[in-house]
């Protein structure tokens, strides 16, 4: 995002106090340092009459009611710091805005990226802000102007006049006379009342993102945004996807003159194809009405970046603050493309603008397709490690073991397919060296498994490592362990790996067959390598002789020393 300092301070109502240095993180609230504003948004679709026209009087009344409520909140709210509380009470800034503009335009049969759509949006925004300031002045006639008004009266009235003058720039040929006349009237009233009584609030309007409250208000679109896509999927915090289907399309089709049967065919096509492009009976000239910020899964049409910028420019002259909105750009957008958008935003008089290039984040909350419809999940990038976590509730297996009298417990958490995904190892007393080492080692094993390291690789690497404690185990399948690490991985191999890899680790009770030179006098290098591996397998888990120290060899289920003849106890 980027903010344009000169434009911001040009429209600043309290120049007599200080300049504006920054905004809130979303860029819609721009005012004095250490101040705060409470936000509220009106669902514009609630003011669409059955005739399809906009209910101007009902909208103005709603502005009066909500602004009064916001004004009451200022004196009854709690604030994070004493300075913010002082400035909020002294200047009483408010942030009234709206949501669902994109749906309103669609229901009206107006493309979001059109001169008609921008004129309509500009007129509605003008009515909202003008009515808000007029009502603020009426409250001031009873309660008095905000405490810091007098040093800023000149700059405040100047900005109100600038807002009113901007109404004349709305194209009267593209918007109904009742909307335009109302816009002119409310700004005339706002200026006249302000000159007599001042204003109760130093700011009145912003356009916030309304992402969460937009869902609560059952809006198809948020803030000043168009719809992301007619069919979209929202990633939920707790996991899973929510399919969201635009509910305004039927109203738009009716407004555009389609019969009920035509509407039914088009809507059925939309649900199946997840795009309205190519729908049976849909006229080519009407496609622009349904254009969205993102390309649909199976379509090509989208609102170009400058369409977003021009819509923001239509509303900006009628806002106390700025607009929290992203300019959606395609994945292939270049540095020059983004530079041009920034420049055009400044030249059109925006206070702030933010760019969002599709796919620039590994995970985004809204997508035009579900993971099931994608060849590869979008949050997983090629050639990059991806952690597969276990579900919050998982099956687990606990095994008690003893190596030369040293007892411990292995607990293995399992994925839904029964394969291990985490390991816990408990040995000795809590806080001891061996307990800490085993805990850390188990964590590293768990991370390796969750990032996709095959268990066979881990068992091949760690089996038969030799260090103390080592010795008899009491486990018939692994009678002698060279170390704790050796035991852990040979046990996991027995539990979770197929028979062949287990045999290769020397954990099978059966002795492998060894070919002799008499079986194949002219062996190839491959056979020689296989024989060497077989010999190693026989010796792989053999302990040293307790009598002379020579490495023993497997003898049935136990071991014998070929040097002195000693055995491990069973032969």
Residues classed as catalytic: 24, 26, 28
User: Is 244 within 8 Å of 230 (Cβ atoms)?
Assistant: no
Contact criterion met (CB below 8 Å) for 220 and 246: yes
Q: Cα separation of 476 and 509, whole Å?
A: 9
Phi, psi of 156 (to 5 degrees): -70, -45
518 three-class SS: coil
CA distances from 202 to 192, 377, 441 (A): 16, 48, 61
Question: With contact defined as beta carbons under 8 Å apart, do 422 and 388 qualify?
Answer: no
Cα dist. 5→11, 12, 308, 420 in Å? 10, 11, 21, 56
| Closest residue by Cα to residue 113 from 293, 318, 352, 278 | 293
Residue 477: CA count within 13 A, CB half-sphere:
15
- Phi/psi at 405 (nearest 5 deg)? 90, -5
CA torsion sign for 287, 292, 298, 300 is positive
Record the tokens describing residue 246, joined without a space: 């635009």
DSSP alpha helices (H): ranges in 316-415? 335-347
313 contacts 350 by C-beta, under 8 angstroms: yes
Strand partners, 422: 413
Count the alpha carbons within 13 Å of 427 in the hemisphere toward its beta carbon.
23
96 forms beta bridges with 40, 205
Strands (E), 384-500: 396-403, 406-414, 420-427, 471-475, 478-481
C-alpha to C-alpha distance for 41 and 128, rounded to whole angstroms: 11
Q: What is the dihedral of CA 28, 34, 37, 38, to 10 degrees?
A: 120
Q: Find out whether 17 and 148 touch, Cβ atoms under 8 Å.
A: yes
């Amino acid at each position: 995002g980027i903010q344009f300092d000169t434009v911001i301070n040009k429209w600043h109502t309290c120049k007599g106090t200080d300049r504006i240095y920054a905004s809130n993180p979303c860029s819609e609230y721009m005012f004095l340092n250490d101040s705060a504003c409470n936000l509220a948004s009106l669902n514009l679709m609630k003011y669409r009459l059955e005739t399809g026209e906009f209910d101007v009087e009902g909208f103005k009344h709603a502005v009066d009611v909500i602004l009064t409520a916001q004004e009451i909140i200022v004196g009854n709210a709690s604030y994070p710091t004493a300075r913010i509380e002082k400035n909020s009470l002294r200047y009483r800034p408010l942030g009234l805005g709206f949501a669902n503009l994109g749906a309103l335009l669609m229901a009206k049969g107006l493309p979001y990226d059109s001169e008609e759509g921008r004129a309509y949006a500009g007129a509605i925004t003008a009515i909202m802000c003008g009515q808000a300031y007029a009502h603020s002045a009426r409250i001031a006639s009873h309660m008095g102007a905000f405490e810091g008004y007098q040093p800023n009266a000149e700059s405040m009235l100047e900005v109100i006049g600038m807002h009113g003058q901007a109404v004349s720039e709305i194209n009267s040929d593209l918007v109904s006379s009742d909307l335009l006349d109302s816009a002119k009237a409310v700004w005339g009233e706002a200026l006249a009342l302000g000159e007599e009584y001042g204003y109760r609030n130093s700011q009145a309007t912003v356009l916030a993102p309304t992402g969460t409250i937009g869902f609560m208000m059952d809006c198809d679109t948020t803030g000043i945004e168009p719809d992301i896509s007619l069919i979209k999927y929202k990633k939920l915090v707790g996991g899973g996807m929510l399919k969201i289907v635009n509910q305004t399309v039927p109203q738009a089709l009716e407004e555009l003159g389609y019969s009920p049967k035509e509407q039914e065919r088009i809507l059925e096509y939309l649900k199946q194809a997840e795009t309205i492009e190519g729908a049976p009976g849909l006229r080519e000239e009407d496609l622009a009405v349904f254009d969205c910020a993102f390309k649909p899964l199976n379509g090509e049409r989208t609102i170009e970046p400058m369409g977003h910028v021009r819509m923001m420019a239509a509303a900006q002259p009628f806002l106390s603050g700025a607009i929290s909105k992203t300019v959606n750009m395609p994945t292939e957008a270049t540095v020059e493309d983004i530079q041009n958008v920034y420049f055009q935003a400044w030249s059109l008089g925006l206070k702030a603008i933010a760019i969002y290039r599709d796919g620039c984040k590994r995970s985004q909350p809204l997508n035009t397709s579900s993971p099931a419809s994608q060849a590869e999940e979008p949050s997983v990038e090629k050639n990059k490690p991806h952690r597969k976590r276990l579900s919050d509730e998982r099956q687990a297996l606990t095994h008690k073991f003893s190596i030369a009298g040293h007892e411990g417990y292995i607990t293995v958490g399992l994925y839904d397919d029964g394969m291990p995904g985490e390991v816990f190892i408990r040995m000795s007393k809590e806080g001891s060296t061996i307990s800490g080492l085993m805990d850390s080692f188990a964590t590293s094993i768990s991370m390796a498994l969750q990032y996709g390291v095959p268990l066979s690789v881990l068992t091949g690497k760690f089996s038969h490592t030799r260090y103390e404690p080592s010795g008899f185990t009491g486990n018939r399948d692994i009678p002698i362990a060279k170390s704790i690490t050796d035991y852990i991985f040979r046990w996991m191999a027995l539990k979770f790996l197929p028979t062949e890899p287990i045999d290769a680790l020397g954990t099978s009770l059966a002795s492998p067959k060894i070919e002799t030179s008499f079986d194949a006098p002219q062996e190839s290098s491959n056979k020689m390598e296989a024989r060497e591996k077989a010999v190693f397998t026989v010796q792989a888990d053999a302990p040293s002789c307790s009598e002379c120290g020579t490495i023993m060899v497997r003898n049935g289920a136990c071991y014998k020393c070929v040097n002195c003849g000693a055995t491990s106890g069973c032969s």
